[in-house]
Amino acid sequence: MTGVVITGIQWGDEGKGKFVDMLADKADFVVRFQGGNNAGHTLVVDGKVYKLRLLPSGVVRDGVTSIIGNGVVFNPWGFFEEVQQIESQGRDINPNNLMIAENTTLLLPIHMELDALREEHAQENKIGTTKSGIGPAYEDKVGRRAIRLCDLAHEDYLKQRLSLLVAHHNVQRQALGAEKINEEKLFADIKAIGKKILPYVKPVWKILDQAKKESKNILFEGAQGTYLDIDHGTYPYVTSSNTVAGNASAGTGMGSGFAHKVLGIVKAYTTRVGEGPFVTELTNNIGEHLAEKGHEFGTVTNRPRRCGWFDSVMVAQSVALNGCTSVVLTKIDVLDEMEELKICTGYKLNGEVINYVPASIKDQENIIPIYETLPGWKSTTYGITTEEKLPIQARNYIKRIEELIGVKASLISTSPERNDTIIREKPFS
Ligand code: GDP
Ligand code: IMO
Ligand code: MG
């Protein structure tokens, strides 16, 4: 078996979807292991655009089994909406080609409501979440009061579990000035959707164990990015799951030693959507240019993404946190019109030079970036698929990034299209 993990190295939206889709040509399984429909992964195949939130990016390939692992928080209504959308684009999704782990946490409308209520009340302390209910759903999971997909098959038990959950939520809702939950209606809604979802619900760990024994190729699809990780990110401005590659084990039931390769997806500059510190942020016309040229609008919320220079300190740390064997460098073409490019090579904090991202948000806010300047290439790289065709300045930019982060770029992306990629080394032989 060959296990390859794909994770986001910055603050998400690095282009994970494009590469999961591209590499899925050699995969037997594509597996999501964390997050939920806060993710927005864009795939472009021969001009046709697919936008996926909860569905693994293997769903557009024939012969790939898509798996949603136990580490995900699962919104069944969102799931069916997405299935319908993707089916309207000509794909067929059914319990033979898509499976969801029995022990996956159910995300309910009350989680989305609580997420939105909290954000409204937090005002200037808001996180800037996607309001998909991710935080509240993970809280209920860790608080041991969540409903799991396996509970849908046991009506009396489901009712008991829902009562527990509703009692907990009602206290919080009251404090936030919201109405009490209509428990009867919610129970009826869950029962109805439960019937539709149960055929997809399987012991995923066992399916993956069998796949391992049969030497299958398994691609693990990360969502979000390392600096949104609940432990390693810019806390509290993070999501509520571990996004790093290690969670591909716990979030699916795959034993350790499963990852032969870890590909970190890295944007050739930096973006962030939502609140929180951003050391190399450009709040000037250069930032605006990157946003416009890179179409930097959130796939899920359509919010503008904040843009900034490439931060090698962040990326080098992320390479270590994920155990990246190589990186995939995306959106090189977005830099085509730049006169010159800056790379952040170190931080100054309280007069001292440091080469890591300090955990404290207070320190992160006070960092002064140290930059190195490289010449731009002022010519188009859009759609280039061979390295020799890249201008020398672009090759030098990539080389410098590799030196600073300590691993090679095995793939380089020059457009949203699946095949517009310079392939130096593919993870599945
Ligand atoms: P993900 O969340 O990591 O899957 O990334 P998103 O899909 O949210 O955002 C990445 C965006 O960049 C999408 O619109 C992609 O189609 C697009 N994209 C990916 N790679 C490239 C590239 O090399 N060049 C350009 N111009 N766009 C790209
Ligand atoms: P993909 O998989 C970029 C951000 C939100 C917010 C924070 C918490 O497409 O890269 P949440 O709704 O998770 O509680 O929000 O995390 N965020 C993302 N940013 N890409 C994503 O996913 C994101 N998913 C969540 O903007 O700052
Ligand atoms: Mg995205």
Map residue 77 onto helix, strand or coil.
Answer: helix
289 contact partners, CB below 8 Å, separation of at least 6: 337, 338
Confidence of residue 381 (pLDDT cuts 50, 70, 90): very high
Characterize the bridge pairing of strands 306-308 and 41-45. Answer: unpaired
CA distance 421 to 412: 6
Distance in angstroms (rounded) separating the CA atoms of residues 392 and 323: 30
Expressed in angstroms and rounded, the spacing between residue 51 Cα and the centre of ligand 3 is 9
pLDDT of residue 428 exceeding 90, the answer is no
Task: Tell me if 38 CB under 6 Å of ligand 1.
Answer: no
Return the residue whose CA atom lies nearest to atom 16 of ligand 2. 239
From the candidates 28, 41, 115, 229, give the one annotated as an active-site residue. 41
| Phi and psi angles of residue 372, each rounded to the nearest 5 degrees, phi first | -120, 140
Share of the chain above pLDDT 90, in %: 96
Contact 135, 113 (CB under 8 A): no
Q: Sheet holding 65-68: strands in order across?
A: 201-202, 98-101, 65-68, 29-32, 217-221, 2-8, 261-267, 326-330, 409-413, 421-423
User: For all residues of the chain together, what is the average pLDDT?
Assistant: 97
Kindly state the DSSP code that residue 67 receives in the 8-state scheme. E
CB of 304 closer than 6 A to ligand 2? no
**pTM of the entire predicted model:** 0.97
Three-state secondary-structure class, residue 159: helix
User: Confidence band (pLDDT; 50, 70, 90) for 71?
Assistant: very high
Averaged pLDDT for residues 283-304:
92
The predicted structure's pLDDT at residue 155: 98
Asked whether 8 lines ligand 2 (CB < 6 A), one says: yes
Across 410-414, average pLDDT: 98
Average pLDDT, integer, range 318-343? 98
Q: Which residue, judged by its Cα, is nearest atom 21 of ligand 1?
A: 416
Q: Which helix (H) or strand (E) holds 183?
A: helix 183-197
Residue 13 among the catalytic residues: yes
Confidence of residue 302 (pLDDT cuts 50, 70, 90): confident
Q: Is 220 helix (H, G, I), strand (E, B) or coil?
A: strand
Q: How far is the CA of 14 from the centre of ligand 1 (A)?
A: 6
Q: Give yes or no for residue 299 having a pLDDT over 90.
A: no
pLDDT of 379 above 80: yes
Ligand with the closest atom to the CA of 239: 2
Q: Whose alpha carbon is nearest atom 26 of ligand 2?
A: 274
Average pLDDT over residues 114-143: 97
Residue 245 is predicted with a pLDDT of 98
Pick the residue whose CA is nearest to atom 6 on ligand 1: 13
Token output for 76: 């069944």
Give the pLDDT confidence score for residue 201 in this predicted structure.
98
Torsion sign (Cα): 150, 31, 204, 88 = positive
% of the chain with per-residue pLDDT over 70? 100
Give me the pLDDT at residue 221, please.
98
Query: What's the confidence (pLDDT) of residue 300?
Result: 81
pLDDT value at residue 298: 83
Ligand 2 lined by 135 (C-beta under 6 Å): yes
Using alpha carbons, list the distances in angstroms from residue 224 to 10, 153, 262, 326.
8, 31, 15, 18
In angstroms, rounded to a whole number, what is the distance separating the alpha carbons of residues 246 and 165? Answer: 30
Number of the ligand 1 atom closest to the C-alpha atom of 293: 26
Unique residue bearing structure tokens 């939105």: 116
Q: Distance from CA of residue 191 to its chain's centroid?
A: 30
Specify the DSSP element, H or E, that contains 401.
helix 392-405
Matching residue, tokens 């038990």: 157
